[in-house]
Amino acid sequence: MGKEVNILGIETSCDETAAAVVADGHIIKSSVVASQVELHEKYGGVVPEIASRAHIEKLYPVLSEAIEQAELEKDDIDAVAVADRPGLVVALIIGVTTAKTLALAWKKPLIAINHVHAHLQSAMMEKANLDLPAVALIVSGGHTNLYECDTPLDLKLLGSTIDDAAGEAFDKVATILHLPYPGGPSIEKAAEKGNPKAIDFPRSMLEAGSLDFSFSGIKTAVLYHCHGQDMKGQDKVPSMSQQEIADIAASFQAAVVDVLLAKTKLAADRLNAKTVLLGGGVAANLSLRKALERMCEQAGRTLLVAPKPYCTDNAVMVASLAYYKYKAGQFADLTLEPKARG
Ligand code: KG4
Ligand code: ZN
């Protein structure tokens, strides 16, 4: 067996500052994530300038800790990988500039990683060789994408959201319900005590056979439910009982899960998929995991889900995917610039 390939991964695309060292694409030697939740909480969403400033402050200690935890010297690192897209450019630029500087100073190759593809890698890491064909659902705060995937580097986009991402809908509905940020976990928690059939929120499927998603309609439906049709009434949420809020959360969650399940099943049926993968922040949601589990069980498909700590943003997924680019000789140069879109 040859020497291990150790890759240092850096992630600063949104509101998590993260660094990790992963060997050979799957041996996690360290993973450090500094969350900025408390900084953005009072605004109910990520404020780009605040995120950027926090990445500047946190990246150096996060990187030092990741290298220390991995018990490696810089000479043992074979490459530096960084998420360069998609995301907030003012946030991405901190990771990209740091990665370029380290690559130059340490004389190591630089690897650019697509953040959304990296989310998929978190699910792929679970198994060395996929039973093909495989379909992947990546659901995060910024993206809702369906892919056909053969290998970590061979992904074909089948469908994506035409408006809000699934996680964004969770975050916006949590704000409507006056639930704490980030919205996904708050809605999931509130929904535990609610009746998912209490309110029949719309399930937007777009035209027949479409693998695209739309979540802005359901967000508006929740808004009208709470403020009256066309926003003509007052905000009723402050006077609602805990049970009423739980019912709205559960009914909203059920509608989003129904749509995600239906589209993933449609893609999997169409491709006759043997494997289904699930990743991204919303993949932490238990009712989504269970719905896909049931669908795969009934159809005799293998479901691979990103482990919970690697559903939301982290650098393990960046360093892991980078291993495949390293082996394929797909390196970036020092002209690398962050990009808002992937
Ligand atoms: O992947 P991620 O950390 O960041 C992006 O790349 O966007 O995803 C964050 C998103 C947020 O919208 C958050 O509300 C959602 O994932 N999320 C959840 C859950 N945990 C996080 N959504 C539903 N249920 C959860 N348990
Ligand atoms: Zn993400």
DSSP per-residue codes, 200-253: -------STT---B--HHHHHHHHHHHH-GGG-S---GGGS-HHHHHHHHHHHH
Contact criterion met (CB below 8 Å) for 220 and 276? no
Q: Is the CB of 87 under 6 A from ligand 1?
A: no
For the residues 179-197, what does the mean pLDDT come to? Answer: 96
- CA-closest residue to ligand 1 atom 1: 281
pLDDT of the residue at 254: 98
pLDDT of the residue at 41: 87
Q: What's the distance, Cα to Cα, between the start and end of the chain in Å?
A: 36
pLDDT at 72 over 90: yes
pLDDT of the residue at 274: 97
Q: Which of 312, 313, 316, 341 to mutate to test the pocket of ligand 1 (most atoms within 8 A of CB)?
A: 312
For the residues 306-324, what does the mean pLDDT come to? Answer: 96
pLDDT of the residue at 242: 96
pLDDT of the residue at 24: 96
Cα(197) to centroid of ligand 2, in Å?
Answer: 30
Q: Which of 332, 321, 316, 279 is nearest to 10 (CA)?
A: 316
pLDDT class for 232, splitting at 50, 70, 90?
Answer: confident
Cβ partners under 8 Å of residue 235, min gap 6: 226, 227
Q: Is the CB of 141 under 6 A from ligand 1?
A: yes
Token representation of residue 339: 């990009």
β-strand partners of 332: 110
Token representation of residue 318: 């960046």
CB atoms within 10 A of CB 202: 12
The pTM assigned to this predicted structure is 0.94
Angle, CA 118 vertex, CA 156 and CA 210 arms, to 5°: 35
For the residues 56-74, what does the mean pLDDT come to? Answer: 97
Instruction: Find the range with the poorest average confidence among 90-99, 126-135, 277-286, 316-325.
Output: 126-135
- The whole-chain average pLDDT of the chain stands at 95
SS3 83: strand
Cα(143) to centroid of ligand 2, in Å?
Answer: 8
DSSP 332: B
Angle, CA 282 vertex, CA 187 and CA 250 arms, to 5°: 30
Each residue's pLDDT tens digit, 272-285: 999 999 999 999 99
- CA-closest residue to ligand 1 atom 16: 281
Q: Is the CB of 281 under 6 A from ligand 1?
A: yes
- Quickly tell me which residue has 């809908």 as its tokens: 169
pLDDT of the residue at 257: 98
pLDDT at 340 over 60: yes
Q: Is the CB of 70 under 6 A from ligand 1?
A: no
Cα(246) to centroid of ligand 2, in Å?
Answer: 27
pLDDT of the residue at 342: 83
The minimum-distance atom of ligand 1 relative to the CA of 168 is 12
Cβ partners under 8 Å of residue 229, min gap 6: none
> How do beta strands 275-279 and 154-160 pair?
unpaired
pLDDT of the residue at 1: 56
Cβ partners under 8 Å of residue 332, min gap 6: 84, 110, 111, 112
109 upstream amide cis, omega within 30 of 0: no
> How do beta strands 110-114 and 16-23 pair?
unpaired
Q: Is the CB of 312 under 6 A from ligand 1?
A: yes
Contact criterion met (CB below 8 Å) for 246 and 193? yes
For the residues 202-219, what does the mean pLDDT come to? Answer: 96
Query: Is residue 6 within a helix (H) or strand (E), and if so which, with residue range?
Result: strand 6-11
For the residues 245-254, what does the mean pLDDT come to? Answer: 98
Each residue's pLDDT tens digit, 105-130: 999 999 999 999 999 999 999 887 89
